[in-house]
Chain A
């Protein structure tokens, strides 16, 4: 496992996620166990796989309930996974124990969404930034590392000078090849030195001045002919931590004098900066950022995004950026993964995804975002119908099929897409038995109409059919409605299923293996995504 700031030597991705699963169980208390009620699994993350290479930014985008935040937290083991593996720098995160896990926590950090609750309100911000340093007992000194000094003299014979170097200067000085070196200069001054300003790296005695280049403390004493110079850190660990915290606060654009203030004295944007400073304290390699700017004003968002870009370049960071805001994702990500109901439906380099989205959900998502342009009002948006299904009971096969505007009819069937979508919606309602027949009967009665089968069927047709259906479809639907009027729900469902069953509901689409642009959609089954790409974003769906 590499140390803080260490460089990777292998070409393998920094983060490898395979089949990650996180289920939350409801109805799982003691009482339920006694009553033998089965726990219900909320499948927040259900089989997610991706890689992140060192230095890149992977954007994870999706709407609420898709599981992206849970994915990020589970990846860093802030939640215990239900299944799958995550390898960080070659090591299996879920099998780590104790010291390895602690090491992992140094290298992989999380930045939270809500700047108002990500800082302990009772702890001054300087202290919050120091907390990771304290937990890991930074700064570290390796007993194996040797310490020495390179000595330069100016007007003083070298043999008069005796330099001693403390063993723990590697807390401050980065060792090279196992040796931490302090660069010391001993000078003869023309006249007896005035001490001038107290400087840590400079000390004088009589007419001898000793300075050290690094951020260390130097002391010099003359004893007759001998000049004794000693180099040490000169500060306690606590002070070093305070210094680092101050440096981090400045780096993120705040003033170090504010370190004793409480979080509530700062604005949202400033608090988010504190959160970033804290995450960087231990010089991690990898950061998971969960909606880092969602709670901020637009103009502050820009400041934070710019800051994150700068920091990534400066500290060689790898980011997993989680957001629902496509514009933010596009602005800062190299690659993008789109999540829906616990699964990744598309993953591709950023530009390819935004220019040529392959998955119907991605297409719908992109279409829905209003553009900041005067031409926006003329743009016609096809909106998705309905709401996201419950993660307790996700649809079989492709999870997006219940709302997909391009759901695939059976190959033998010749049908228009809008009609097929209507029929599929009706099938969904029948299979879930979510048609309130009694309510309809009641309403018919209130209106003074009869509540016989014919009227019921007519009413259902009026309510549920909003496109023109061919005769065959109209007949099938009518038969099904008659069946349910007779309370034969299963028969109705079976009837329609036999005619209209789609591959989208029977077979779960997998991410296609083609190159770097993958999408989990049956529309792409028989052709490579490369082909699709050439077609400028529209896929022939037998419309």
Chain B
């Protein structure tokens, strides 16, 4: 069975357990007609090489925007206003330090400080993303094989010229003239047969039966589960170091979801890829992740290992989330929903207090001032953005019920 070259085999990638991605103070804002929306505010995040890091949050928490910020997919009216996104790869750092020494710190390169082209050249090869809806990720008028081969081809060029960020996408072959030529002359085709063969290999790797025949089929001929596999194959074509998966199984049936999650886990173990898994499904998090970050209102309110967050949740939002999910394991009793609704992310409507205070059953006087991150019980990775991580809840200090009632709550979509 053909295999995918492991990250370990490629030079530049840090060892297992070492940091591969360091995000510091990331803020992404959207400047809309209604005002400035603070989608992500001052976010810190560290991901270790070879791990599966889960970001769990509901709609409006900013989890998808975080992923898009890392991938540099934020378009107007959105903008990354602050912060650094440091990616660690010794080879890439060497290549960059020639022209932009200021952006390099040891083996880390701050992606926000290098030119856009250089940053975007990482997409597909070092960073790759898969999305919730596989159907809209594929061009319906090209066969799946062609699209996969395209991804392979880009990667081929990149590895041929590792230092040139241009080689991957700027070439004669991409011009209009060559498009015309390629329809007439087979030899001029952008996609070489070798890439096509690799595409079929990839389809097989992700468990699609009859990959050769499937490669010539169009996306609409695939079922949902198969298309998601194809999307994973496409993501793998670039032999990425970091895979960002945004709700990869939300749209799938539960039995198919199990297949896809197993596949991701197997692939990850096999090639040592780092995965950033974003989802609202706590069960998926439990199944896949080594470490977890819980997002609310654009911030990570609690982070730590899986055990930290699931067994000793410190932030009341995390506790609320865990208590409000019906689970097959613990049955019976009423669910404890979190009262109220998600806060407005409009800048002029956000207060300087803890963003969760208006829904928190344990809100205290001091919560009117935004808490810093404190260390929580358990592993040294466990931290929570809550005073309760620092000291016990003091009922004397509790804010009276109805304290926040005059505040505007956003009727979101």
- Complex: chain A residue closest to B341, CB-CB: A267
Is A42 interfacial (CB 8 A cutoff)?
no
Interface residues on B, range: 35 or more
Chain A nearest Cβ from B75, distance in angstroms: 24
* Cβ A383 vs Cβ B413 within 8 A: no
Instruction: Name which of B136-144, B174-182, B276-284, B392-400 contacts chain A.
Output: B276-284
* Cβ B325 vs Cβ A327 within 8 A: yes
Bound Cα distance from A354 to B262, whole angstroms: 23
Which single member of A268, A309, A330 contacts B331 (CB below 8 Å)?
A: A330
Chain B residue numbers with a CB within 8 Å of A527 are none
Bound Cα distance from A442 to B200, whole angstroms: 13
Among A265, A364, A370, A388, find the residue whose CB has the most chain B CB atoms closer than 10 A: A370
* Cβ B307 vs Cβ A365 within 8 A: no
Q: Which of A206-235 contact B (CB under 8 A)?
A: none
Is B33 interfacial (CB 8 A cutoff)?
no
Chain A residue numbers with a CB within 8 Å of B288 are 377
Is A324 interfacial (CB 8 A cutoff)?
yes
Which single member of A306, A367, A370, A383 contacts B281 (CB below 8 Å)?
A: A370
Which single member of A327, A368, A374 contacts B307 (CB below 8 Å)?
A: A374
Is B103 interfacial (CB 8 A cutoff)?
no
Chain A residue numbers with a CB within 8 Å of B117 are none
Contact with A along B386-413 (1 / 0, CB 8 A): 0000000000000000000000000111
* Cβ B326 vs Cβ A328 within 8 A: yes
Instruction: Name which of A73-81, A169-177, A294-302 contacts chain B.
Output: A294-302
Chain B residue numbers with a CB within 8 Å of A31 are none
* Cβ B326 vs Cβ A376 within 8 A: no
Given contacts A309-B334, A373-B286, are A299 and B254 in contact (CB under 8 A)? no
Chain A residue numbers with a CB within 8 Å of B295 are none
Chain B nearest Cβ from A349, distance in angstroms: 13
Among B58, B287, B334, find the residue whose CB has the most chain A CB atoms closer than 10 A: B287
Chain A nearest Cβ from B342, distance in angstroms: 8
* Cβ A331 vs Cβ B326 within 8 A: yes
* Cβ A372 vs Cβ B325 within 8 A: yes
Is B171 interfacial (CB 8 A cutoff)?
no
- Complex: chain A residue closest to B253, CB-CB: A63
Is B223 interfacial (CB 8 A cutoff)?
yes
Given contacts A326-B328, A372-B282, A372-B286, are A305 and B335 in contact (CB under 8 A)? yes
Chain B residue numbers with a CB within 8 Å of A309 are 334
Is A303 interfacial (CB 8 A cutoff)?
yes
Is B311 interfacial (CB 8 A cutoff)?
yes
Chain B residue numbers with a CB within 8 Å of A136 are none
Q: Which of A302-337 contact B (CB under 8 A)?
A: 302-303, 305-306, 309, 324-328, 330-331
* Cβ B210 vs Cβ A436 within 8 A: yes
Instruction: Name which of B148-156, B316-324, B363-371 contacts chain A.
Output: B316-324
Is A439 interfacial (CB 8 A cutoff)?
yes
* Cβ A368 vs Cβ B255 within 8 A: yes
Chain A residue numbers with a CB within 8 Å of B412 are 267
Is B188 interfacial (CB 8 A cutoff)?
no
Bound Cα distance from A365 to B254, whole angstroms: 7
Which single member of A265, A326, A383, A440 contacts B212 (CB below 8 Å)?
A: A440
Contact with A along B335-349 (1 / 0, CB 8 A): 111110110000000
Which single member of A306, A324, A439 contacts B337 (CB below 8 Å)?
A: A306
* Cβ B283 vs Cβ A299 within 8 A: no
Bound Cα distance from A446 to B281, whole angstroms: 45
Chain B residue numbers with a CB within 8 Å of A376 are 283, 286-287
Chain B nearest Cβ from A105, distance in angstroms: 31
* Cβ B213 vs Cβ A436 within 8 A: yes
Is A371 interfacial (CB 8 A cutoff)?
yes
* Cβ B326 vs Cβ A370 within 8 A: no
- Complex: chain A residue closest to B258, CB-CB: A368
Is B261 interfacial (CB 8 A cutoff)?
yes
- Complex: chain A residue closest to B215, CB-CB: A439
Is A264 interfacial (CB 8 A cutoff)?
yes
Is A384 interfacial (CB 8 A cutoff)?
yes
Given contacts A368-B255, A376-B287, are A298 and B328 in contact (CB under 8 A)? no
Bound Cα distance from A298 to B321, whole angstroms: 8
* Cβ A372 vs Cβ B254 within 8 A: no
Given contacts A298-B321, A299-B337, A436-B212, are A377 and B287 in contact (CB under 8 A)? yes
Is B226 interfacial (CB 8 A cutoff)?
yes
Contact with B along A256-299 (1 / 0, CB 8 A): 00000000111111100000000000000000000000000111
* Cβ A371 vs Cβ B327 within 8 A: yes
Is B245 interfacial (CB 8 A cutoff)?
no
Is A443 interfacial (CB 8 A cutoff)?
yes
- Complex: chain B residue closest to A403, CB-CB: B255
* Cβ B254 vs Cβ A63 within 8 A: yes
* Cβ A372 vs Cβ B327 within 8 A: yes
Which single member of A299, A303, A383 contacts B258 (CB below 8 Å)?
A: A383
Among A268, A299, A434, A435, find the residue whose CB has the most chain B CB atoms closer than 10 A: A299
Bound Cα distance from A325 to B325, whole angstroms: 11
Among B59, B337, B338, find the residue whose CB has the most chain A CB atoms closer than 10 A: B337
Bound Cα distance from A85 to B53, whole angstroms: 52
Chain B nearest Cβ from A256, distance in angstroms: 16
- Complex: chain B residue closest to A264, CB-CB: B413
Is A1 interfacial (CB 8 A cutoff)?
no
Is A414 interfacial (CB 8 A cutoff)?
no
Bound Cα distance from A374 to B282, whole angstroms: 11
* Cβ B258 vs Cβ A381 within 8 A: yes
* Cβ A377 vs Cβ B411 within 8 A: no
Is A369 interfacial (CB 8 A cutoff)?
yes
- Complex: chain A residue closest to B210, CB-CB: A436
Given contacts A299-B324, A369-B283, A387-B226, are A381 and B262 in contact (CB under 8 A)? yes
Is A366 interfacial (CB 8 A cutoff)?
yes
Contact with A along B212-229 (1 / 0, CB 8 A): 110000000001111000
Bound Cα distance from A195 to B311, whole angstroms: 63
Q: Which of B292-322 contact A (CB under 8 A)?
A: 306-307, 310-311, 320-322
Chain B residue numbers with a CB within 8 Å of A300 are 337, 341
Bound Cα distance from A63 to B287, whole angstroms: 20
Chain B residue numbers with a CB within 8 Å of A377 are 286-288, 306
Is A29 interfacial (CB 8 A cutoff)?
no
* Cβ B336 vs Cβ A331 within 8 A: no
Chain A nearest Cβ from B291, distance in angstroms: 12
* Cβ B324 vs Cβ A372 within 8 A: no
* Cβ B255 vs Cβ A384 within 8 A: yes
* Cβ A373 vs Cβ B262 within 8 A: no
Bound Cα distance from A323 to B223, whole angstroms: 21
Chain A nearest Cβ from B64, distance in angstroms: 14
- Complex: chain A residue closest to B335, CB-CB: A302
Bound Cα distance from A301 to B342, whole angstroms: 13
Is B329 interfacial (CB 8 A cutoff)?
yes
Bound Cα distance from A442 to B216, whole angstroms: 14
- Complex: chain A residue closest to B207, CB-CB: A385
A-B contact pairs, 27 of them (CB 8 A): A63-B256, A264-B413, A297-B59, A298-B321, A299-B320, A299-B338, A302-B324, A303-B339, A305-B326, A305-B335, A325-B326, A364-B255, A369-B254, A370-B257, A370-B258, A370-B286, A372-B325, A372-B327, A372-B329, A374-B286, A377-B286, A381-B258, A381-B262, A387-B223, A387-B226, A434-B210, A443-B212
The 5 closest A-B pairs by CB, nearest first: A370-B283, A302-B337, A302-B324, A63-B253, A368-B258
8 additional contacts, CB 8 Å, given A63-B253, A383-B258?
A63-B255, A267-B411, A298-B281, A302-B337, A365-B255, A366-B328, A368-B254, A440-B212
Binding site for A on B (CB under 8 A): 58-59, 197, 210, 212-213, 223-226, 253-259, 261-262, 280-284, 286-288, 306-307, 310-311, 320-322, 324-329, 331, 334-339, 341-342, 411-413
